[in-house]
Chains A and B, each alone.
Chain A
């Protein structure tokens, strides 16, 4: 077990610890759209035109592979994935293959870290946010040494994968299983760990919605990262990043499986 003493205090996590964190509830956003948004927000955060943000959203069903994902951790071939309507995308984050889909709360904190010394502390802090969130629903989440993420018993309820770009800007983040279709996880070896399963809050008897859990996650994030929270609409964020209306409408465009 790792004790939560490894979570750095807010001043060692965020470079601009006195500034608020802007929370954007983006609804359901295709993975690539959210990824574009993240990358532009990372650039904006680096050049100082944006402050720290927390994006909270859901994705349509998709598998994402980190650059170091072992292809053997994909159990379904392209045909099987197509039948299930699950996309496959290669991304620039740490970690192995993971699944996102409806009923899963995804959080992308775009923060400027106080220093690279807090890189791992950032991950521990995200775990802390999720453990506190689960506790408010009566669930006991825990850390497992060498297996980043949050676990309930021997099963994983939340996955974490982070990228820190130059300037110490974080992107990607966490995915908390509120009530996803756990079936969709059988197409992969989640995070490359074959001998442990996944679970969801609803499967453990918590009938909460993604919206309700988002509220709690945002509050817990504010506590752990020492931030006042300011709501920001996704439209305001797109305006800030100069995403025109074409970009906004991209959410409704069809997505096709990326060749891998």
Chain B
């Protein structure tokens, strides 16, 4: 007979929690065969049997807390065994337990070459229900890596629609890229049409691509997505939609309850545009999100706002108080078919450019598929409206109260600008944009707005975003 005590697992450790019994009463065990698993301080430890014999008593249950030195099990002589089982555990005992241990995740521990991904492909040699419950419950499951799925999702292609050329019909990265390229040829091609061709599509997430160098036939920009049937009359009167009423009321409230005006600076974003064109394909492949200038500008705003607390704040004139926000809940104006929505990304100050790009893509697609939660459209502290996606040159956005500032990021375009190197001046072609800030003069003075804009311009023109994009 031998008592198995909870062993000392560290100098200052007084107790442990039993997480799993690896044996039952009546089991035969060998010396050093693990019989129980103890959890303490983020460590799961297998406790071995000190002797060979038969388990005659187990004194604690799973989840019990046991003190060091307490007897948790008793191992009797092999002769004491209630010998109703013929087979002896022998040396294979430890192996057997190891195998059981893994059974929850590896249903078929036999040959190494085939025990990969036991749940991923139904094997004909086994009943489907045992091999892959998930496959049988959801129809055809396409084999593709998460990366490939992301690529396809971004391109709006169902993985099931892509013919897979990999092993067992798996959709490979090459298959996905082929499918994306083929799809691209079917739609109006490149250039300015990416903005013009998708009026409600990509306003928050995409800019017009750099203009193609060869002049192409100019396509007329899209008409308004909602058209009116006049039915022969000279005018038609309709009830406002719910969302239209809300926009109308909040815009009027904004203009009537605040003292808003707009200031602007011009920024040279050549470095950002060059960086973007160098890494955007790899970025999309790696992150599954588009690297837009908006994502970088939003990141720059989050790097700038904490230095200008008055712009990430709200004001209550009646109470005579100003409330400053430590976190940036960054709102983005999203154009949807039903009208403008302004969801916000909570704690945007914590996001690097990849996180920002994904967050923007996420709220934009949720806005268009009407899946925004109430908490995603409330609680914003600062808003960006990306009017540049439609080519607007300059903008005076309307505040989204109780916020006291909103930044418009209009078109980014190549302009001839004067560059001074300290010795002489020259004219260069640079990617330029305006940064248009509407602010509430009750809370923010013109100098505050100017300081913020200059700071933001400095970050955009000098910060090396490559570090966040290098992977």
| Contact of A244 with B by CB under 8 A | yes
Query: Quick one: CB contact mask for B340-375 with A, threshold 8 Å, 1 for yes?
Result: 000000000011101100110000000000000000
Q: Judge whether A166 and B19 touch: CB under 8 Å.
A: no
Q: Evaluate contact between B359 and A183: CB separation under 8 angstroms.
A: yes
Residue of B nearest to A185 (CB): B350
Please determine whether B45 and A164 come into contact, CB atoms closer than 8 angstroms.
yes
- The CA of A86 and the CA of B116, in the complex, are separated in Å by 18
12 contacts between A and B (CB under 8 A): A36-B116, A67-B20, A85-B147, A102-B471, A116-B45, A123-B43, A162-B43, A167-B32, A181-B352, A183-B355, A246-B113, A253-B116
A158 to B8, CA, bound (A): 26
* A32 at the B interface (CB under 8 A): yes
Q: How far is the CB of A232 from chain B (nearest CB, A)?
A: 21
- Given known A-B contacts A32-B117, A116-B8, A183-B355, A67 and B43 have beta carbons under 8 A apart: no
Contacting residues, chain A, for B120 (C-beta < 8 A):
254-256
Q: Is B133 positioned at the interface, with any CB of A under 8 Å from its CB?
A: yes
| Complex contacts, B147 vs chain A, CB 8 Å | 60, 85
A256 partner, pick from B47, B113, B141, B286, beta carbons under 8 A: B141
Within 91-150 of A, Cβ neighbours of B (below 8 Å) are at 91-95, 102-103, 116-124, 148-149
Shortest distance from the beta carbon of B367 to any chain A beta carbon, whole Å: 16
Determine if A258 and B42 form an interchain contact, defined as CB atoms under 8 angstroms apart. Answer: no
A117→B468 contact, CB < 8 A: no
Who on chain A is nearest to B170 by CB? A254
A160 interface residue (CB < 8 Å to B)? yes
9-residue interface stretch from B10-18, B181-189, B190-198, B401-409:
B10-18
Q: Is A254 touching B145 in the complex (CB atoms < 8 A)?
A: yes
Given contacts A90-B105, A120-B9, A203-B352, are A85 and B44 in contact (CB under 8 A)? no
- Roughly how many angstroms separate A61 CA and B147 CA in the complex, as a whole number? 10
A95 contacts B42, C-beta separation under 8 Å: yes
Q: Which of B39, B167, B287, B359 has the most CB of A within 10 A?
A: B39
Given known contacts A94-B44, A243-B112, A258 and B105 CB-to-CB distance under 8 angstroms: yes
Inter-chain contact B145/A116, CB cutoff 8 Å:
no
For window 104-131 of B, CB contacts with A under 8 Å fall at: 104-105, 112-113, 116-117, 119-120
Interface residue? A196 (CB, 8 A): no
B354 near A6 (CB under 8 angstroms)?
no
| B250 nearest CB across to chain A (Å) | 28
Centre residue among B42, B113, B352, B359 by max chain A CB count within 10 A: B42
| Chain A residue with the shortest CB-CB distance to B12 | A6
Count: A-B pairs, CB below 8 Å: 162
Q: Is A247 part of the binding interface, using a Cβ–Cβ cutoff of 8 Å?
A: yes
Q: A67-B20, A246-B113, A254-B144 are in contact. Are A166 and B42 (CB under 8 A)?
A: no
For residues 87 through 103 of chain B, which have their beta carbon under 8 Å from a beta carbon of chain A? 94, 101-102
Q: How far is the CA of A87 from the CA of B147 in the complex (A)?
A: 12
Report yes or no: A86 in contact with B146, Cβ–Cβ below 8 A: yes
Chain B proximity of A75: nearest CB distance (Å) = 13
Asked whether B352 lies within 8 Å of A179 as measured between CB atoms, the reply is yes
Known pairs A90-B104, A117-B9 / 20 extra A-B pairs, C-beta < 8 Å: A60-B147, A86-B146, A94-B19, A116-B47, A119-B9, A119-B43, A120-B41, A121-B10, A123-B41, A149-B42, A162-B44, A163-B43, A167-B32, A181-B355, A182-B350, A183-B358, A207-B467, A255-B146, A256-B134, A258-B105
A111 to B48, CA, bound (A): 17
Taken together as a complex, chains A and B put the C-alpha atoms of A105 and B137 apart, in Å, by 36
Instruction: Verify B470–A209 contact, CB threshold 8 A.
Output: yes
Q: Is B34 part of the binding interface, using a Cβ–Cβ cutoff of 8 Å?
A: yes
A68, A91, A183: residue with the most chain B Cβ atoms closer than 10 Å:
A183
B contact residues vs A (CB 8 Å cutoff): 7-13, 19-20, 32-34, 39-48, 94, 101-102, 104-105, 112-113, 116-117, 119-120, 133-134, 141, 143-150, 153, 166-167, 170, 286-288, 350-352, 354-355, 358-359, 467-468, 470-471
Q: How many A residues touch B, CB cutoff 8 Å?
A: 63
Residue of A nearest to B119 (CB): A258
> Would you call B116 and A250 a contact (CB within 8 A)?
yes
Q: Does A89 reach chain B (CB closer than 8 Å)?
A: yes
- Bound state CA distance, A26 and B153, in angstroms? 30
A117 and B150 in contact (CB under 8 A), knowing A94-B44, A183-B355, A259-B119? no
Neighbouring A residues of B39 by C-beta, 8 Å: 68, 94
Minimum C-beta distance from B20 to chain A (A): 7
In the assembly, what is the distance between CA of A91 and CA of B105, in Å?
8
Q: Roughly how many angstroms separate A254 CA and B166 CA in the complex, as a whole number? A: 10
What separation, in Å, do the CA atoms of A135 and B405 have in the docked complex? 39
User: Which 5 pairs of residues, A with B, have the shortest CB-CB distance?
Assistant: A120-B10, A85-B146, A148-B42, A94-B44, A166-B34
Check A161 for interface membership: any CB of B closer than 8 A.
yes
Q: In whole angstroms, what is the CA distance A85 to B468 when docked?
A: 21
Task: Find the B residue at minimum CB distance from A113.
Answer: B45
User: Which of B7, B40, B46, B468 has the most A CB atoms < 10 Å from its CB?
Assistant: B46
Report the Cα distance A165→B102, complex, angstroms. Answer: 13
Asked whether any CB of chain B lies closer than 8 Å to the CB of A70, the reply is: no
- The answer to whether A120 and B13 touch across the interface, beta carbons within 8 angstroms, is yes
Residues of A within 8 A of B355 (CB): 181-183
A residues in contact with B468, CB < 8 Å = 179, 202
Query: A235 contacts the other chain (Cβ, under 8 Å)?
Result: no
Binary per-residue interface labels of chain A (62-93) against chain B in the complex, 1 for a CB within 8 Å, 0 otherwise: 00001110000000000000110111011111
Give the residues from 21 to 39 in chain A that come closer than 8 angstroms, CB to CB, to chain B: 32, 36, 39
Q: Do A120 and B470 touch (CB < 8 A)?
A: no
B44 in complex: contacting residue of A6, A92, A167, CB < 8 Å: A92
With known contacts A68-B19, A254-B144, A166–B43 Cβ distance under 8 A: no
Q: Are B33 and A166 in contact (CB-based, < 8 A)?
A: yes
Q: Which residues of A contact B170 (CB under 8 A)?
A: 253-254
Q: Which residues of B contact A86 (CB under 8 A)?
A: 146
A19 part of interface (Cβ distance < 8 Å): no
Please tell me if A257 contacts chain B, counting CB pairs below 8 Å: yes
Whether the pair A164, B46 counts as a contact (CB closer than 8 A) is: yes
